[in-house]
Amino acid sequence: MPDDQRVLIVTGASSGIGAALARAAAGAGYRVAIVARRAERLEEVARAIREGGGTVVSIVGDVTAADMPARIVSTALSSFGRIDAVVNNAGGGALGGLLEQTDAAIEAQWQVHVVGPLRLSRAALPHLEATRGQLVFVGSGIARVPLLNYGAYAIAKAAIRAAATQLRRELRDRGVAVSYLDPGLVATEFHKAMGIERANDVRAASPERVARAILRGIARRSAVVNAVPLHTAGATLGEWFGTLADSFIISRLTPQRAAALPSPPPPVIVSSPSVTLSPSSFDSAQDDITTLRTGSVEGRQAPTFEATLEPVARRMERVKLPVQFLRDALVPDATLELNTLAMQWAGMPNKNERAALREALDALAAGGYLELLADETWKVTRGADA
């Protein structure tokens, strides 16, 4: 293998644009380092690359973790000896009005779309200087034309668009190119994971088309890559029209919620003021209904962490929701928000994954580990058992 074969890092590579880009880059002769949280799906992408004759290394982890940029860079260097391009693609949205979202939900969007990419770019910069390489930031038309109920996603994408422009100017004399990608409307899991219907009046581009556009942009060292020029033109017009476009945007472009999964029956409230049992966990937990969340009653201990999750253990196994992930989330007095936690676990969770996580959190609330603060928001009342 020649030492000068180019190396591409792509985050969010377990599905959608990231997976398509990893496969296309490998097919074009790049050695690729792929990053995502979903180990099994990431391995499927890696296996497809290897079967196609490509060279790949997988790095499983959360791009928002403070130690992740160093891990990504060191793995790419130890595997391939160089870094030529970094594509900051990881991301996902959370449905809701901006002021209706919790601090945690807003912070999660900022971390995955802004802080994470900047940390990785900083860690990779010396090695990109050595190869006269390139940084790519994946944006959105929503950075130009914010839509209702996209919450903090819109402002985070606007921030990374500005960051790409700033870095392009700052790094010009250091030989590192910076590209901003407007992918347009793409047929990925993004909208489903947010729980909204993708617009039918605009034809969605395939992830493969966007991947080809990114590779062209890298080859040309383009400052801006518009994967679907017609989509970008529409967003540009919306931006130019300013307040004149408000009525149209509100009436025609407000996202519609997808058909929801059947809502679970309301919780069963028992006589103890600190215990709430969901119907799914009622039968297995009814022997503990007099147990307070912080101790024992009449000499009986509160149910253990594993016992609390037993009613949903099979469902968790089916969607590969790790028990350790929930254990780590139980930091006393922390606030857990379903959308944020789902993104931390699955990146772009589908309805099944989101519903399974909700059942697990309901079970932990029933066991006294969580206290429901509002719909889909809990406070951690005690940590997992040692």
Annotated catalytic sites, by residue?
153
Q: Show the beta-strand stretches assigned E in 19-146.
A: 31-36, 55-60, 85-88, 134-138
Residue type, 256: Q
Question: CA 215, 231, 105: angle at the middle one, nearest 5?
Answer: 85
In angstroms, the Cα distances linking 132 to 33, 126, 173, 179 are 18, 10, 11, 14
Give every CB contact of residue 28 below 8 A, 6+ residues apart in sequence: 215
Give the residue from 340, 346, 321 showing the smallest Cα distance to 12. 346
Q: Which residues contact 135 (CB under 8 A, 6 or more apart)?
A: 85, 86, 88, 121, 124, 128, 164, 167, 171, 176, 177, 178, 179
Strands (E), 276-376: 276-277, 335-337, 370-374
* 138 C-beta neighbours (distance < 10 Å), count: 29
What is the SS3 assignment for 210?
helix
Beta bridge partners of 59: 35
For Cα atoms 231, 232, 238, give the angle at the middle one, nearest 5 degrees.
95
The DSSP annotation for 133-158 comes to: -EEEEE--GGGTS--TTBTHHHHHHH
Q: If 0-12 CB within 10 Å is exposed, 13-18 middle and 19+ buried, where does residue 246 land?
A: exposed
